[in-house]
A and B are shown apart, each in its own frame.
Chain A
């Protein structure tokens, strides 16, 4: 028997970066909000960095890859046909539990790549449409950084001063200066001083396995507590299988499984999907019915298509004169946007950023990248605490053949079909990476690296899941309009990075959250009909 719940104004599915932002904003405006999240609340004492075996935990129960982690709250993903594995965390806070909180914004040009470079499509919105929502999100998440970056439009002062660069950061910054290349201290949603009741970062290092001090802004410690104070209801261990619709073509609510596998139905006036670029198309495709034979909101056939990840590779340098490069956050030091825009002489469109990272944070992580056998100990000595890296994060243009589908066989623990990822890195992206890696090496040599290590291209880099329910004006070629409202179902909204038209070359989350807040702003101002 299916348990029926009372109707709510807005049902949000997914309590990660985007869902949490909408949950806060709508509850603040007096909407009745229920949020269904398949994962649990994470207790801070569970985070690996509290434990002496933190490297073991990081590589297993806290692995970024749900297929390795295999926690109860995860769903399996078929990754047999992809060059890049999707990475995510399923819990209250979503993947922001794992994220490194590095938060560059898209550039104004990113919204107009078709006009500028003749590739992909323009977005139906501009940077300036999103700017106030980027700023609003910054207030809630808290930004450490410094204004004045010449690579980006002017911004409001940041909430906190930048995180320390450390000796290593200064070394690399000077190398950029000598080469005449742009660099700037990284903007981070990591507190350099106490902010909104959350402590300052104490530089422990691997912030990408959860932060027990709450210095890193994951949404379980930023938006969600405030949303709950506003009266929003968060239901955990609630895994949605399907969105239901009525004969008028409206979404009526969602079917979900609770922790005991019992089925429930949560009715709502409006539904907001925030399950990320893999989870959202999965549930839309699984919501197929007679009225929606190709899945919900899929009259365009674009649901699941155009999956983008960002391509990533890195080079590390060994610096004999450094001793403790594991001290300090692994990333969030500095970035360069020197190579962001298209330069036709390079042989590929669009560009990339260079991100500095500190050395591997523990002996096991380091050992995995050096020789075993006779040279192991000498290599360990030469590398431990002496490595710095430069990562290349490049734009990955959309292609229809890169997609999320439903797997015909694989299912999660509730019997819901798993997503299947089909993805090939394009030739253009490979060229871009090659170009970026050469420049990364130039920087490290300029900074005085004694040895350069080109890390092999790794499959484990699908941190950014974008493009699978894209935004556009034309219902024939896109899934949602500029307000993130489904073209097909007028009371259905999508607020995660599925709606990205292109991905730019920067980490996506501030943009995801700005889009989420822009959508909730639209609902508040223009969809009073959804409020009881």
Chain B
């Protein structure tokens, strides 16, 4: 259930955006996810859903406590490969939380108009237009119709 206005720590948000850059890197003329999406969009979902805000807090805490990150001056100061490895490790250790974070990031990223244009996804709202499919043609049954009834009589 939507739950409005939580206190979201800006430094945590900025760390999440660094994570987003690794999870969804730049492509063609689009920058990586952390650079592309606005804080507003992320905050909107964090404020609306406890599922994301609680996973967000747990995820950032886990990231900050990660021994490798701590020893190297924090996630932001790691090189690309190391960042990737830390995230893989977190995915393995806290799968449910990681899944919620991924979901949040994909929701934010794939609601950006530039991204939707790039993937050519025009149908943002599925109704009222729907799609068209060719009507059923019974000729497709020609082979299977030859089969005798085979349900078990009891």
Contacts and interface: CB of A to CB of B under 8 A. Distances in A.
B127 A212 contact: yes
Contacts of A69: 1
B144 A182 contact: yes
B109 to A, nearest CB: 8
Interface string A328-341: 10000000000011
A61 interface: yes
B49 to A, nearest CB: 5
A376 B20 CA distance: 12
B84 interface: yes
Interface in B76-112: 84, 87, 99, 102-103, 106-107, 110-111
A164 B22 CA distance: 41
Interface in B129-154: 129-136, 138, 140-141, 143-145, 147-154
A274 B133 CA distance: 37
A166 B136 CA distance: 8
Is chain B's binding surface mostly helix, strand, loop or mixed?
loop
A185 B149 CA distance: 16
A148 B145 contact: yes
Contacts of A363: 106, 110, 116, 119, 121
Nearest to B129: A202
Classify chain B's interface size.
Answer: 35 or more
B144 A203 contact: no
B140 A165 contact: yes
Interface in A195-226: 201-206, 212-213
A53 B147 contact: no
Interface residues of A, number: 73
Given A163-B136, A164-B135, A205 B152 contact: no
B133 A203 contact: yes
Interface in B33-57: 45, 48-51
Interface string A106-119: 01110110011000
A5 interface: no
Contact of A150 (B50, B116, B149): B149
25 contacts: A49-B126, A50-B128, A53-B111, A60-B48, A108-B151, A108-B153, A116-B154, A146-B141, A150-B150, A161-B136, A164-B133, A165-B140, A166-B133, A177-B143, A183-B144, A185-B136, A185-B141, A206-B126, A213-B128, A328-B133, A341-B152, A362-B121, A367-B102, A373-B22, A374-B84
Interface of A: 47, 49-56, 59-61, 68-72, 107-109, 111-112, 115-116, 126, 146, 148, 150-153, 161-167, 170, 173, 176-177, 182-185, 192, 201-206, 212-213, 324, 327-328, 340-341, 361-364, 367-368, 372-374, 376-377, 380, 384
